[in-house]
Structure formats: C-alpha cells, structure tokens
Amino acid sequence: MSPNQTLFEDLRSGLTGEQGTAQPTPYQGPSAASIADEEIFASDSAWNGTEPVTITVTQPIYDRMSTLIDRLHHLGSLAPNWDSYNAVPVQGTAAVEAMRLLAQILTFDVPTPTLVPTSSGGLQLEWHQDEAELELDVHPNGAVEVFLSMPNNQTWEGPLANSRWRLEAFLRHISHRS
C-alpha cells in the first residue's frame, strides 16, 4: 500500500460521526458574534504528513459526507500521470484540508459538492446551482483559492481567507435548493 493509500485509509477511518440527531442548519448568514475567517476556515495546526487525522462531526454530517469520503478514497488511489498529461496524485495535505472544509460547510443545509482532482495534486470542490457557481481549489500545500460566480453576473477570485462574506452569500443562495 502506498503512503497516499495509507493516508486515505486513515482519513476514512479518522472521520467519525458522533451520535446525535442534529440536522443540517439552514444557512442564515453571519451573526454579530461571527468569528474571523481564520478561525472558521483555518485548521488548528498544519498537518505534518505523518500523524493520523481525526475530524469529528455529527452523525447526520457524517452520513452526508459518506459518498464524498468514498470519492476521496478513490481519488487517493490515482497513480502518477492519471490524466496522461503528467498529473500528480492527490496529495495528503489537500485531502485533509478538503475534508476539514467539507466538515465545516456541510453543517449548513447546502448540497454536497462535486469533488475532482487537479493535475497539480490538489482537489477542487465544486457547487453549480442555477446560475451560481462556487469552486474551492485546495492546493497540494493546503492553501485554498475561491472562484465565485453569482446569478447577477458578479464574479470573484481570491484566497479563502479574504472571501468569507462572499461564501456566506453563496451558501445563503443555495441553501434549501438541493
């Protein structure tokens, strides 16, 4: 088993669902008590590439993530040159960051995204709904870039840390539209 395969097995086993009946919350947007982007969208510490990863979520969120976990496991098994254009296998840091982001975002009543590999070893999380699009490009080093297009033809691109209010507008738009 390759180191990447081991990581993806660890991610699968490390994502645990706590027992509970909590349901996804309709997204209401920011509150006065909202915390900074860095606190919501940044991990407590950088993954060192060797320690097991555990992401704890409620059972309903775990259930929503199960197909994404299976998809991530499949993507983690891609060999070098998987696209015949010298693509790099999905890197562990990108997988950890993607799962952490999904655990946060799927607490809201939004559809699950499409999860696709990038040729550089990253992952892209995509939501395409009506005329709105959101793409989170998780780079191999864990950095996240955002592309957002709203129905009013406004678009925005940039780092995740600078785009929380834009993400909130998008989540508000797609909430209850699955």
Question: Regarding predicted confidence, which is higher, 127 or 41?
Answer: 127
The strand pairing partners of 116, in sequence order, are: 124
- Number of independent structural domains in the chain: 1
Q: What pLDDT does residue 121 have? A: 96
The angle subtended at Cα 20 by Cα 71 and Cα 75, nearest 5°, is 10
Q: What pLDDT does residue 24 have? A: 41
- Give the pLDDT mean for 11-20: 51
Percent of the chain with pLDDT over 70: 69
pLDDT, mean over the chain: 75
Say what the pTM is.
0.74
Of 88-97, 122-131, 165-174, give the lowest mean pLDDT range: 165-174
pLDDT tens-digit series, residues 68-126: 989 998 998 999 999 999 999 999 999 999 998 998 888 878 889 999 999 999 999 99
DSSP for 99-140, written as a single string: HHHHHHHTTBS-PPPEEEE-TTS-EEEEEEETTEEEEEEE-T
The label of the residue with tokens 């997988």 reads 95
| Confidence check: pLDDT of 177 > 70 | no
Q: Which tokens go with 132?
A: 């709105």
Question: Regarding predicted confidence, which is higher, 21 or 131?
Answer: 131
| Confidence check: pLDDT of 169 > 50 | yes
Range of the domain at 34: 3-174
**Which among 104, 13, 8 has a CA at the least distance from the CA of 64?**
104
